Structure 1
Amino acid sequence: MSEVLRAALVIARRDFSAVIFSKTFILFLLGPLFPVVIGMAFGGLGEKITRESLRPTVGMSMTAPDAARMERAHRILAARIGAENLPNLQRAPTGDPRALLARRDARFMAIVSGSVERPILTGKASDLAMLERDISLLASAAVAGDQLPHVQVEKQLVSASAGAEAQSRLLTGRAAQVLVFLLTMLLAGMVLSNLVEEKTNKVIEILAAAVPIDSVFLGKLLAMLGMSFVGIGFWGSAIVAGVKLLAGPDIAPPTPAVGWPIFLLLGAVYFTMAYALLGSLFLGIGAQAATVREVQTLNMPVTMAQMGVFFFATYAVDHMGSAPEVAAIIFPFSSPFAMIARAAQDAAIWPHLLAIGWQAIWVAVIIRLGVWLFRRHVLKSGRSSRRRLFRRRSAMVK
């Protein structure tokens, strides 16, 4: 066993150095940050557009005093509940509302006419269903005028709220699940291409002749895992720096049930387990594939199945202690996602020790299965072909 581990570390150091010191690794590190920056920029722009431009505009075909009362009511309500929760109001010419809506230059979704006491809203049925309550609220505030009451809410602070804490821990567990899943799917696929490339170049045969196949598989898995942690460290540092820069240093995320130090440690362990489980499966697939096209063909069903497993684990978050959560914990590929969510909601540590041991057993089983398939279908076929070739040459000499 020590010989296998020693050889695996040699293979891991070789692959890790080859990836880390390559010219394209910096592009690999910077690549995921570009979508994040672009997403934040477009998210802020989209929020601004939604807040300012995409709110429905209602034309007021009313007398000037009634229109002024509606505008004043709009300002009062906007100060209390936010302008983004109300439609825009714009004065429109008096006349038939249907004719105003039919004009090509009209920019109104609906027209409110009549008086403040008896408003008439004209528009399509779907638009009226959306705007009816807002116009009724504005008209009611306009009728009340200066008599619109404003009740001051007295605030009473508490140090803790069990319901709010449970909700925040649930959100923390969901966020951790999504993060572990995205990182696993982003990084585990590199194991496939690495192994297929070395099979094509016949490097894998040289390694197989020098060290046990178990060491080759384990070493490649350790190398890609180490490279993944380098990437995670870089991306995590960049995200933390960006959040502190944009949100300020006083931001305080909700505390998970096990506490942040243990939660981060468990997050790293469960990412390792999820990566090892999926990576060892990908190693077995890559060992059987001869070309990149075959890898892509085999990779798709595995990826879709993993997405289904992830959705099953997210469903189990809301049902702690139920049969779905127990099944998600027992099934090895969903176990890391289910357990990281449990760490955010339950302070018990012993279930994590059992789960990590259970997942490690399955990693070993999947690696052994991949090694067995590699020996049976790749190395054995290679030896038999060499024997046939040798016999053919012997026959030619005779």
Structure 2
Amino acid sequence: MRNLGLIINREYMARVKNRTFIVMTFLSPLIFVGMILLIAYLSMLNSTDQKIIGIHDESGKFVMEFKDGEQVQFLDYSARSLDMARQEVLDNEYYGLIHISEIDAVTGKPKQIEFFGKETPGFGTVENIEKTISDKLTREQLIAKGIDVSEIDKARASVNVEIQNFSGERSSKMSNYIKMFFGGAAGYLLMMFIIIYGNMVMRSVIEEKTNRIIEIIVSSVKPFKLLLGKVLGTSLAGLTQFSIWVILGTVLLFGISSFLGIDPGSVQTPATQVVSEAAQPEINQLVIDILKLPYASLIGFFLVYFMGGYFLYSAIYAAIGAAVDSETDTQQFMFPVILPLILGIYVGFFSVVENPHGTVSTIFSIIPLTSPIVMLMRIPFGVPWWEIAVSICVLIATNFAVLWLSAKIYRVGILMYGKKPSYKELYKWLKY
């Protein structure tokens, strides 16, 4: 155990004293916070930009239906010819021109509706144009059939469904977006940390192997202890760096945003746009849902799955590093390692969000290669304790199995030089 402690201390100190590690530890939060503030600032600028759109309505029915808003202004060019309208919009560098042709006598619809612009218009712009024209045509057809449109408008009923569980606990309709955000962020961060620190372990093994230092080390330490010490030492360095990132990132985000007067919450996403359109009681309930999220469980299980997932993949990365002589030779082994992580992210975003308690989500949250990511995405939605217990137990058992197998490859590979092994040879090493 004394040798194991020395190895852990050596690996940890070698990481935290490294100049690159120190620079990136303190520079990464600045870069990350800077990106968030830049996106928020650009979003604020984008929200203040007003689009000017010309309208050339040959039918004369729709031009008055387009109403000016905070971000869009409509100009009537119907009195000019189409060519003159297009040229004037182009010369003034307006956003675009809507051309509505004459009404077809048979269908009662414009023969052609076009949008001219330097660039392809956004989805929201096109949808707004289509909706405006469609609503006008629908009302005209209803009136033509003798239907009183005003009575239809009066008869429209607004329904608000209140969501609560059987114990009477209320939640908002937007709570799933919040849970998806926190779960997705945790899963994605975990994947990035596994890849970053796993590669760190692999490079360390390759470096010691190419420098022939490993031949001296294994003379006094068993390969299994050496492998375990590398994984533990690097994981502690990773946790140290992550803790510093969280503290510095939080302080910088609130400090700089307050100083510059930028609101990071101004970044517009589909979820925030829906929230802004919701009623005030719904927003209040949403705030309550955010405060009610199991933050302690999220942080605690993030650490548990970070350690479990990192141990699992670091052992694999270390075995790959021992099997090759250079980082270039690792490429043939990397895809099978990265594939489960990518699969976990896709399952999380496409299955967990849609049905967090479904069969696919449950199975992949127990499979050890994907469980660290998928289970973290499921936890905000509420997971039975026994599923988490099974997932963690399977992950721990798999860690011991993979560490044992990786140590067998590590034991042979660290002393092999000048030959790039195949999968068949790696299998033979497991039998030694």
Stretches of structure 1 lacking an aligned partner (at least 5 in a row): 141-148, 383-398
Contact in 2 for aligned 1:119/1:139 (Cα 8 Å): no
Equivalent residue number for residue 88 of structure 1: 73
Task: Name the SS of the counterpart of 2:187 in structure 1.
Answer: helix
> Highest CA radius of gyration, 1 or 2?
1
> What is residue 392 of structure 1 aligned with on the other side?
none
Residue 335 (structure 1) aligned with residue 371 (structure 2): yes
Aligned residue number for residue 133 of structure 1: 131
**Which whole-Å CA distance do the structure 2 matches of 1:357 and 1:198 have between them?**
33
Matches of 1:205 and 1:192, distance apart in 2: 17
Which structure 2 residue ranges, 5 or more long, are not aligned?
102-108, 139-152, 164-168, 258-262, 265-286, 419-432
Deviation at 1:120, TM superposition (A): 11
The answer to whether residue 33 in structure 2 is matched with residue 47 in structure 1 is: no
Counterparts of 1:273 and 1:225, CA distance in 2 = 10
1:321-344: per-residue Cα shift (whole Å, max 9, x none)? 433123213321101122222322
Contact 2:30 2:249 in 1 (8 A): no
Which one of the candidate residues 399, 404, 408 is aligned to 1:368? 404
Question: Does residue 99 of the first structure (1) align with residue 90 of the second (2)?
Answer: no
Match among 301, 323, 332 for residue 266 of structure 1: 301
Instruction: Say whether residues 1:202 and 2:197 are aligned partners.
Output: no
Letter in structure 1 aligned against 2:25:
L
Which amino acid is the alignment partner of residue 243 of structure 2?
G
Which stretch of the first structure deviates more once superposed, 18-27 or 153-162? 153-162
Give the deviation of 1:156 after TM superposition.
Answer: 12
* Counterpart for residue 29 of structure 2: 33
Compute the TM-score of the two structures, normalised by the length of structure 1.
0.73
Q: Which of 257, 279, 295 lines up with 2:314 in the alignment?
A: 279
Out of 95, 110, 124, the residue aligned to residue 97 of structure 2 is: 110
How far off its partner does 1:287 sit?
0.9
Q: 1:374 to 1:310 in 2, by over 3 A?
A: same
Give, as a single letter, the amino acid of the residue that structure 2 aligns with 1:59. Answer: G
Distance 1:217 1:256, change over 3 A: farther
Match of residue 67, structure 2, among 51, 74, 79: 74
Counterpart check, 1:58 vs 2:94: no
In the superposition, relative to structure 1, how do residues 198 and 260 fare at CA in structure 2: closer, same or farther (>3 Å)?
same
Correspondence 1:1-398 to 2 at 5 A: 3=1, 6-53=2-49, 55=51, 57-60=52-55, 74=67, 78=69, 83-84=70-71, 87-90=72-75, 92=77, 94-102=79-87, 105-106=91-92, 107=94, 109-111=96-98, 123-124=114-115, 130=127, 131-134=129-132, 160-161=170-171, 163-245=173-255, 246=257, 254-255=290-291, 259-317=294-352, 318-346=354-382, 348-379=384-415
Distance 1:348 1:108 in 2: 53
Contact 1:288 1:377 in 2 (8 A): yes
State whether residues 33 and 252 of structure 2, in contact with CA within 8 Å, keep that contact through their aligned partners in structure 1: no
Q: Distance in 1 between matches of 2:224 and 2:135?
A: 71
User: Could you say if the C-alpha distance between residues 31 and 286 of structure 1 is closer, same or farther in structure 2, counting changes exceeding 3 Å?
Assistant: farther
Q: Verify the 8 A CA contact 1:97 1:122 in the aligned structure 2.
A: no
| 1:122 CA drift (Å) | 6.3
Residues 360, 122 of structure 1: CA spacing in aligned structure 2 closer, same or farther, 3 A cutoff? Answer: closer
How much has 1:163 moved relative to structure 2? Answer: 4.5
Are the structure 2 counterparts of residues 172 and 108 from structure 1 closer, same or farther at C-alpha, using a change threshold of 3 Å?
Answer: closer
Aligned amino acid, residue 335 of structure 1: S
Q: Choose between structure 1 and 2: higher helix proportion.
A: 1
> Partner of 1:254: helix, strand, or coil?
helix
Aligned partner letter, 2:233: A
Using the alignment, how far apart are the partners of 1:298 and 1:54 within structure 2? 52
Distance 1:119 1:27, change over 3 A: same
Maintained 8 Å contact 2:187/2:376: yes
Aligned residue identity for 1:342: R
* Contact 2:344-2:371 within 8 A present in 1 as well: no
Question: What is the RMSD computed on CA atoms of the aligned residues?
Answer: 4.3
Instruction: State percent identity of aligned pairs.
Output: 18
Q: Which amino acid aligns with 2:53?
A: V
| TM-score, normalising length: structure 2 | 0.68
Asked if structure 2 preserves the Cα contact closer than 8 Å seen for 1:61 and 1:91, the reply is yes
Structure 1 position 129, deviation (Å): 5.5
How many residues are treated as equivalent by the alignment?
357
Q: CA deviation at 1:199?
A: 0.8
> Which residue of the partner structure matches residue 144 of structure 1?
none
8 Å Cα contact 2:205-2:321 kept in structure 1: yes
Contact residue 70 and residue 139 of structure 1 kept, 8 A: no
SS across alignment from 2:74: strand
d(CA) in 1 for partners of 2:14, 2:98: 68
